[in-house]
Structure 1
Amino acid sequence: MASVDNANGTPNPQTNRPAPSIIRLQATIAAARFHGLELDMRDFAGEPGESSPSPATLVRWLTDQGAVAKGMNIKWRYLVKMSNSPPIVLMFRDGSAALMVNADAARGIVWLRDPMAGEGVAPVPVDEMRLNQVWTGDILLIKRRKDQSEADAPINAAWLAKMVLREKKSLRDIAIASMTLSILQIFPPLIVMQVIDRVVNNRSMATLVSITAIVLVLSFYEVLLSYGRRELTLVLTTRIDTRISLHLFNRLLALPLEFFEREQAGNVIGRVMAIYKVRDFMTGRLMSTFLDMFTLVVILPFLFYLSSTLAWMTIAASGLIGLLVVVFMGPVGRQIGKLIKAEMKRAGVMYETVAGIRTIKTLALETSRKEEWDECTAGVVQAKLDVGRMSNWPTSLSMPLEMFINRGVILVGAYLVLTDAASVGAGALVAFMMLGGRVASPLTNLAKLLDDLNEVTASLGEAGTVLNQPTETKALTTGMRPRIKGALSFIDVNFVYPGSTAKALNDVSFEIPAGTMLGLVGRSGSGKSTITRLLQGVSRTYTGYLKLDGVDLREINLTHLRRSFGVVLQDNFLFRGTIRDNITAGRPGLTIDDVVRAARLAGAEEFIERMPAGYDTWIEEGSTNISGGQRQRLAIARAVICDPKLMILDEATSALDPESEALVNANLERIGKGRTMVIVSHRLSSLVNCDMILVMDRGRVVDIAPHEILLERCTIYRTLWMQQNRHTEGRSGPSAPADAPLIAEGE
């Protein structure tokens, strides 16, 4: 890559250096470290087709990691004035980067530091001519986010308004276009007034020709401006929609696993999707009413100019419509709330039916599911009827007022003309009629807008019940990132699940060095899986100390922690895609050699190679085209491909047939070489080769020792072992005493 030579500051090709993309990432990490942000290069996921991360890609990554970043292209004359500023990342043409640590405008030089060199290495002075040989003109500015981030701010009306107001430039252009259109809308009624008062009455052909020419010019500009405003509005609503969608999905991903375990998936999806009703309101009715208000501001004074009496009548009628809407807001809002809850319930039934369709078909549960769906649909229909009937009252009561605005005002105006009660001519009356409708429409829409607020408020509240839950954002973006070796230490750890009074873990204490293969055994509910949950950072509300390599687990960056672990569960989820994509999930840069190596370790290579497309075999949704044992081995391959220093296998072999289980168990020693392994299994035969086996009972540690020692001194372990091995030890081996209690795994 081309970089700055430490001797004379000239760009010079370097050898034996990392790839340019690595150097650019390292420069970004170094600049973030200056602000106290510790980033991990493994957390970065580049855009497809990018040989080196662009400033925009780096900005997205930094934003996700809790920083404030901005990429921009500037000239040398502005760069050289950035003296005494935090480190700035300068992008080079070869895909690498350097850190600018200072500048001197008087001397015309900047000081650059090689991101791959130590901080003790002196920066190099570079002038404009030399820098321009390698610099693209792009820079990356980084700072730490000190206030509450937008990603963690409560989802409410203020948050959505802030999202809209961020588009200040588009809003300004739309406002200018709307104001201009409003002004242009005054001219047609004025022209009609002139046609009636001068052309028709005076039979003036010349005036008619002149007015026609003016009408054509104004019409052209009105069409042009209307097209431009619609285009600007479309761009604005699309940008807002994109930003809201990205934020909502990021917020959903940041919610802790415990929340999803407590809530029904269908209800979660239904509540989150309710935010799009708010989006439609803000970019639809609210936007159109906002634009119409410009018409009101411009035309209303002109109406008073034509006839103050008729203008006040129009405003009074519109005000009464607004009063009706306000009166009915409460009752209609309560009915809308019931409707939303009914729709959520029905959506939950739909999701549950689709997710559990295999069980429904297998057990012939179609009839019962239809009955439940019919009941939910009846609830939704009834709620819709109630909302419609309640909304029908203000609509019906406001219709006479709307008719008065559109028809009655002109009749009153005609009466005033006939009785000479007001100085209004025939042309002015027609012009008022044309403009009055344009004024009445925004006023009535503004009043009806309050009615829509009921549904919007209810939808926003439903979305907030999910999206305003405490997130893991801080834990995912802050904390230490130590090098993981795998030494574990539990010291007086206690944990209680939310809503429970009994301790899931009660003063649990044990310690294992790095590289240990630890088995966890015990009856159901003894706390085995709870230990693995705490290790994964799923729950952090425990008391006591849980240390990884001497560092408290709560002090470690959660993303770094989970990326350093390999986890295989009893029921693993495979994504819809190829086998290769599933094994490399989260690690798209790994090669096919890495995939084959991981599949071989997991014992999956032999069945993958028998498939017609091999590693490109497509896995259907729900993994319906592969067996449970095959799915489990692919999950193990996915866990070992990133070479984690600590692996957790929670009943990972329970779904395997004896042959597959024997194959995986035979590879466990190879898989566990050089790494710590925590294996939860109710099949004790798969744990006999573990260095240590931890026996749990009712949340407490009963014993920890190798298999042979536990058989001698631990009653619970010996009883479990003898229950599972009666067929081999019933004749010649030791047997349980006649009065020994049977301790079943499922108790």
Structure 2
Amino acid sequence: MKLIDHWFWSAFSEHRRIYYRVFLAAALVNFFAVASTIFIMVVYDRVIPNSAYESLYALTIGMAIVLIFDFVLKMLRAYFIDYAGEYVDKQIGDSIFDRLLEAPTAVVTGPVGATANTFKEFDQVRDFFTSATLSLVVDLPFIFFFIFVIYLIAGPLAVVPLVAVPVVIGVGLAIQPFLSKVSEEAGTHNQEKQSILVETISGIESIKVLGGGDLVKSRWRDSATKQSSVSRISRSLAQIAVNTAQSSQQICLVGIVFYGVFLVSDGTVSMGAMVAAVLLSSRTLAPLGQIAGLAGRANNARTAYQRLSVFMEETKESSKSKRDEGAIRRSKLGKLEFVDVKYRYPDKEVDTLRNMKLKINEGEKVAILGRNGSGKSTLVKLACGLFTSSDGIVSYDGMDINQIHSEDISKFIGIVLQDVQLFSGSVKENITMGRTGISEEDIIRAGKISGVEEFIGKMPGGYDLLLSDRGMGLSGGQRQAIAIARAIVCKPTHYILDEPTSAMDMNSEQAFIAQFNQTLSESTLLIVSHRMPLLNLVSRIIVMNEGQVVDDGPREEILNKLRT
């Protein structure tokens, strides 16, 4: 795969010129680091023995200029890293979120906490590649440059850091397999914790009412204990490398001084050269002191990157944008037909729908009845393109739904799912959902039909009333009314409703049926419900059982059969 096409590396490829500047600035900063040691060596060996104060002034002025340039370069390096990081963060973040919105429903409807944690882990990847960590990575190759400089100015003293560096690197590499394994385990346990947390917050009312606190607390404690244990092991392993690096740095300083004394006595190196070697050895081993932390962050970033890559690869070919590239635009949908359709949920061994054969003509009003688990809601989601059949074809006017542009499906199908989802924002935003071409009159019309008008006028702000997450504060019937308004505001040609009034009171339901019936006219209606009043909207009833159609016919005929 070319870097320019990769979901992650393409962002870095586009900003590679900035990263070239980062590497250049880092190189110059490391070259300037040598200047201070040369300055000290010259002062010790030339200025002090000869009282050459004029040379001292000139050298000091030169060092001041170097230090100014060093400061400017460090600021530029930090600026370039932050500048590129900002754009990389935005570009990759947008790409991941777009893929989430476009991904097949079956891929993203797993444990919410685990999915959310996978996206949260992007922060670890971003921080590793767009922070000071990058500066440390750039500094590592200059370790051997500094050893070479020590060799040039102090000859044999270069042996001491040359021996210390491989030892520190060797210890760091030796613990990498263990750190990698621990990092993966920590990521798994973190996902478990996030899932439990999200599940608890979502169901806190049921937990309180049913007294289920001990159950979720036990799960949370078990997951937290496992993560804490793994984190402790990770820190212990990292500490081995940190302590090795720090000890090696101190041993290196002592070794250079010890060995240097004999070399100075023999006249092999000067006093200034020995002092310069001591300073350079500290600069040489400084990055190694952080290499353990770098390794830990690298492992966490790698684990997070792998989790994100799995998601991005799963959704790459089946995302909405990919599908729409060759999709056909339609001026209408027409007849809905299921031909030998099968559907099996991921990780399940039994088909939810089995050889489903069904035809609903344009303008026909049909109800789907059946026991719980008979496949009614699955059929609805297949009909609106949320799910893709495992086998067989779902089509409109003979065209596979997968070949129809997603915008046309959203335009022509108004859907209310069984589980109503409202979002933070105004009531108006929850009805329009960002769709264009919707006027105030359309919103009011949809509100009158759905029953939103019955309660919205009594609330401060009306349609501009701000809702909290999931529409908290509204009753179940009010949330359903908003969901129905959302489905009908665009005046679709096909209505697909799954238990749309299950939370409404009888009066609200009757008012909705009366209003809605007047707007159906030539529209196609597919409704799932066990409530008798809604069946007055249809002329045909289909009965399902165990993923198959077991009866189909005129409303009164089917109702009579069910009664007997």
Percent identity between matched residues is 27
Deviation at 1:445, TM superposition (A): 4.7
CA 1:601–1:499: 2 relative to 1, 3 Å: same
Higher helix proportion, which one? 2
What's the offset of the Cα at 1:496?
Answer: 3.5
Q: 1:542 to 1:359 in 2, by over 3 A?
A: same
* 1:638–1:664 distance in 2 versus 1, CA, 3 Å: same
Is contact 1:594-1:641 (8 Å) kept?
yes
CA contact (8 A) 1:481 1:557 kept: yes
User: For the residues of structure 2 that align with 1:276 and 1:192, how far apart are their CA atoms?
Assistant: 43
SS in 1 for 2:315: coil
2:196 is aligned, of 346, 349, 353, to 349
For residues 191 and 451 of structure 1, what CA distance do their matches in structure 2 show? 37
TM alignment of 1:205-604, pairs within 5 A: 205-261=53-109, 263-284=110-131, 286-293=133-140, 295-296=142-143, 299-420=146-267, 423-442=268-287, 445=290, 449-450=294-295, 452-471=297-316, 472-473=318-319, 474-604=322-452
Superposition deviation, residue 559 in structure 1: 4.2
Deviations 1:352-391 (A, max 9, x none): 1211122223334334433433333222222222222333
Structure 2 stretches lacking a partner, 5+ long: none
Whole-Å separation in 2 of the counterparts to 1:603 and 1:400: 74
Report the counterpart of residue 133 of structure 1 in structure 2: none
Q: How far did 1:438 drift?
A: 1.8
Residue identity opposite 2:260 in structure 1: G
| Distance of aligned partners of 1:205 and 1:547 in 2 relative to their CA distance in 1, 3 Å threshold | closer
Tell me the secondary structure at the aligned position of residue 356 of structure 2: strand
1:505 deviates by 2.9
Structure 2 counterpart SS, 1:468: helix
What residue identity is the alignment partner of 1:704?
D
Contact 1:182–1:298 under 8 Å retained in 2:
no
Q: 1:165 to 1:449 in 2, by over 3 A?
A: farther
Shift in CA distance, 576/185, structure 1 to aligned 2, threshold 3 Å: same
Counterpart Cα distance in 2 of 1:268 and 1:409: 53
Is the Cα contact below 8 Å between 1:322 and 1:447 reproduced in 2? no
- Structure 1 residues 502-542: Cα deviation after superposition (integer angstroms, max 9, x where no partner): 44333333323212211111222333222212112222234
1:300 deviates by: 4.2
Tell me if structure 1 keeps the 8 A contact 2:341–2:392.
yes
Size of the alignment, in residue pairs?
561
Is 2:23 aligned against 1:175? yes
TM-score by length of 2: 0.92
Moved more, 487-496 or 228-237: 487-496
What displacement does 1:711 show?
Answer: 4.3
Shift of 1:649: 0.3
- Structure 1 residue 271, shift from structure 2 partner: 2.5
Structure 1 residue 638 displacement after superposition: 0.5
Kindly state the Cα deviation for residue 285 of structure 1 after the two structures are TM-superposed. Answer: 5.7
For 1:634 and 1:564, locate their aligned partners in 2 and report how far apart those are by CA, in whole Å: 19
Given the superposition, is the C-alpha separation of residues 560 and 366 from structure 1 closer, same or farther in structure 2, using an over 3 Å criterion? same
CA shift for structure 1 position 398: 4.2
Name the CA shift for 1:543/1:335 in 2 (closer, same or farther; >3 Å).
Answer: closer
Quick one: structure 1 residues 269 and 627, their matched pair in 2 at CA, closer, same or farther if it must change by over 3 Å?
A: same
- Select the residue among 459, 468, 471 that pairs with 1:620: 468
Query: Structure 2: which amino acid aligns with 1:455?
Result: N
The aligned amino acid for 1:640 is I
Residue 164 to residue 444, structure 1, CA distance change in 2 (3 Å): farther
Aligned twin of 1:656: 504
Post-superposition offset of 1:416: 1.5
Instruction: Pick closer, same or farther for the CA change 1:470–1:656 going to 2, 3 Å.
Output: same
Give, as a single letter, the amino acid of the residue that structure 2 aligns with 1:416: L
- Deviation, 1:441, is 2.5
What is the CA–CA distance in structure 1 between the aligned matches of 2:27 and 2:346, rounded to whole Å? 56
Q: Is the 8 A contact 1:572 1:635 kept in 2?
A: yes
Offset, 1:567: 0.7
How far apart are residue 296 of structure 1 and its match? 4.0
Seen in structure 2, the aligned counterparts of structure 1 residues 357 and 185 have a Cα distance that, compared at 3 Å, is same
Deviation beyond 6 Å, 4+ runs, structure 1: 147-151
Contact 1:574 1:622 (C-alpha < 8 Å) held by counterparts: yes
- 1:640 and 2:482 equivalent? no
* Cα-to-partner distance string for 1:234-290 (whole Å, 9 max, x where unaligned): 2122222222222222222233211333x2111111223223222222233641223
* Contact 2:122/2:304 (<8 A) preserved: yes
Between the aligned partners of 1:148 and 1:305, the Cα distance in structure 2 is 43
Residues 672, 282 of structure 1: alpha-carbon distance in 2 compared, 3 angstrom cutoff: same
Return closer, same or farther for 1:496/1:598 CA change in 2, 3 Å cut-off.
same
1:204 and 2:52 are equivalent in the alignment: yes
Residue 180 of structure 1 and its aligned partner are, at CA, apart by: 2.5
2:256–2:274 CA contact under 8 A, matched in 1: no
How much does 1:291 deviate? 3.0
Contact 1:570–1:653, Cα closer than 8 Å, also in 2: no
Deviates more, 1:601-610 or 1:357-366: 357-366
The amino acid that maps onto 2:303 is: A
Q: Matched residues in 2 for 1:513 and 1:590: separation?
A: 28
Counterpart of 2:456, as a letter, is I
User: Which of structures 1 and 2 has the larger relative contact order (alpha carbons within 8 angstroms, sep 6+)?
Assistant: 2
**Contact 1:275–1:460, Cα closer than 8 Å, also in 2:** yes
CA deviations 1:282-329 (Å, max 9, x no partner) are: 233641223314644754442221134222331221111111111222
| Long gaps (5+) in structure 1 | 1-146, 154-158, 713-717, 723-735, 737-747
Instruction: Rate the CA distance shift 1:389–1:180 in 2: closer, same or farther, 3 A.
Output: closer
Over aligned residues, Cα RMSD in angstroms? 2.6
Aligned partners of 1:601 and 1:670 also within 8 Å: no
Contact persistence 1:521–1:695 (CA under 8 A):
yes
- Give the residue type in structure 2 aligned to 1:434: L
What code does the residue aligned with 1:436 have? S
Task: Return the alpha-carbon distance in structure 2 between the equivalents of residues 295 and 584 of structure 1.
Answer: 58
